[in-house]
């Protein structure tokens, strides 16, 4: 699967030059739109300052995390309000962010700071099926696909980038070089996922 997808993306490289807006379309093998795919662009060797001000919310509603996938820049803080009428216990053992919010109701008094790049997997100690992902990136240029399978990064500055695409249904990130020119029409990348959605429902 990965070789086929990589070949698909690399075939699009000539059309990606000289484009200010960049969009992504994700679908499954039946042509159905795939939500929650992350698209982000990094400049090789460039260090971006920590964002430090963004506040993001991951809710707990009907015994599920909402949204299923979040993407934030390094230095962002995330709150985990519990909107259910039962208590939850939110945790992660991921190297990019390990934390543990003991059994609680309502909203914890302090958000969690995500200060390292990487993938963070969220779980609930009480409800094993609850699962969500936070992808922490160093770049400010990122987007997440909506229920139509579309994501868009607007006004990406000219320069050389490493374009990355990730989704929980992918074994690994896809990446390819990207050269953005001074001007040009919107360009798009299309990705097809063949792996089915393995999420279980309670």
Task: Encode pLDDT of 8-49 as tens digits.
Answer: 443 344 344 434 678 889 898 889 999 999 999 998 777 776
Q: Are residues 132 and 106 in the same domain?
A: yes
Q: Which domain holds residue 175?
A: 2-46+140-193
Q: Are residues 168 and 116 in the same domain?
A: no
* Count of the separate structural domains present in the chain: 2
Cα 30 versus chain centre, distance: 23
Whichever domain contains 144, its CATH number is 2.60.40.10
Q: Are residues 129 and 65 in the same domain?
A: yes
How far apart are alpha carbons 15 and 103 in whole angstroms? 51
Which residue, of 119, 137, 155, is where some domain finishes? 137
Q: Are residues 130 and 150 in the same domain?
A: no
Task: Encode pLDDT of 180-189 as tens digits.
Answer: 766 555 667 7
* Residue 48 CA: distances (Å) to CA of 44, 107, 135, 163, 192: 11, 31, 16, 16, 31
Domain contains 155: yes
Residue 90 half-sphere exposure, CB side, CA atoms within 13 Å?
Answer: 28
pTM: 0.82
Domain contains 200: no
Mean pLDDT, each 10-residue run in order, the chain (202 residues): 41 43 86 92 77 77 93 92 88 95 84 93 89 94 94 84 89 82 65 69 44
Q: Are residues 33 and 62 in the same domain?
A: no
């Amino acid at each position: 699967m990965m070789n086929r997808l990589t070949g698909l993306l690399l075939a699009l490289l000539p059309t990606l030059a000289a484009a200010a807006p960049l969009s992504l379309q994700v679908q499954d093998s039946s042509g159905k739109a795939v939500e929650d795919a992350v698209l982000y662009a990094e400049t090789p060797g460039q260090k971006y300052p920590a964002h430090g001000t963004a506040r993001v919310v991951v809710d707990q509603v009907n015994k599920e995390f909402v949204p299923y996938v979040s993407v934030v820049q390094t230095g962002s803080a995330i709150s985990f309000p519990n909107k259910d009428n039962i208590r939850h216990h939110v945790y992660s053992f991921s190297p990019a962010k390990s934390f543990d919010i003991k059994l609680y109701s309502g909203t914890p008094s302090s958000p969690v700071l995500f200060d390292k790049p990487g993938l963070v997997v969220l779980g609930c100690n009480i409800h094993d099926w609850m699962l969500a992902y936070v992808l922490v990136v160093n770049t400010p240029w990122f987007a997440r696909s909506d229920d139509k399978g579309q994501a868009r990064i607007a006004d990406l500055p000219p320069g050389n980038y490493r374009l990355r695409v990730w989704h929980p249904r992918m074994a690994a990130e896809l990446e390819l070089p990207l050269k953005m020119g001074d001007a040009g029409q919107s360009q798009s990348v299309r990705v097809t996922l063949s792996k089915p959605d393995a999420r279980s429902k309670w």
